Structures are given as structure tokens and as C-alpha cells.
Amino acid sequence: MSGHRSVEIVVRGRVQGVGYRAWTKGVAEARGLSGTVRNRQDGSVEARLAGPEDAVATMIEACRRGPPGARVQDLAVHDLPSPEAPQPPGRGGVQILPTA
């Protein structure tokens, strides 16, 4: 049985204006992850996702490719402290936040 993992993924390249946030939301939710995704003012996309370790690992690999039209040049992953009361996988989904 897999443990729980929370990560911040920052993706750089041609990742804004190509549907990266909506793609991330759909792919992450299909894997039972919850969290947030947003564009950043520096042109990158930031996703903070939590869920089963194996689902998070496959999501990280998916983010290296991204949706059609995206060109990922760099991907940084940072583990985050687990939330005090994590939502069960599949609950809450992924929220698209305003640009920060």
C-alpha cells in the first residue's frame, strides 16, 4: 500500500496559453489527486498536488510531457509537508487559481 505525498511542481517552457492548467486539473483528478494549479507571472506553471505516492509519481512524469502544444524545458519538484488534515484521494479535486 502506498503512502501519501504532497509536492509542488514548477514547470517552465511554453506552458502558458496551451491549456496546461486545465490539462493538469484533468490528469491529476483522474489519478485521484487534489490540490491547486496556477500560472505564475514569470511564465511558469505551479501545481501543488497531494495523494497516493504512486499517483503523484506518475503525475510528475506526465507533467514532463504536458498537453499537446506545450514544450516543457524544465520541471522542478519539491516535497511539501503533508497537510494537517489531507483530503481523501478523489475528494476536493484540483482547483485552478488566479495567476500569482
Within 13 A of 100's CA, how many CA atoms are on the CB side?
9
Q: What is the rounded CA–CA span in Å between residue 18 and residue 89?
A: 27
- Which of these is catalytic: 5, 31, 38, 39? 39
Task: Exactly one of 5, 21, 31, 48 is catalytic; name it.
Answer: 21
What are the percentages of helix, strand and coil residues in the chain, rounded to 5?
A: 25, 35, 40
Tell me whether residue 14 is one of the annotated catalytic residues.
Answer: no
Q: CB under 8 Å to 21, separation ≥6 — which residues?
A: 37, 38, 39, 45, 96
- Any catalytic annotation for residue 39? yes
For residue 5, how far is the Cα from the chain centroid?
12
Positions annotated as catalytic residues are 21, 39
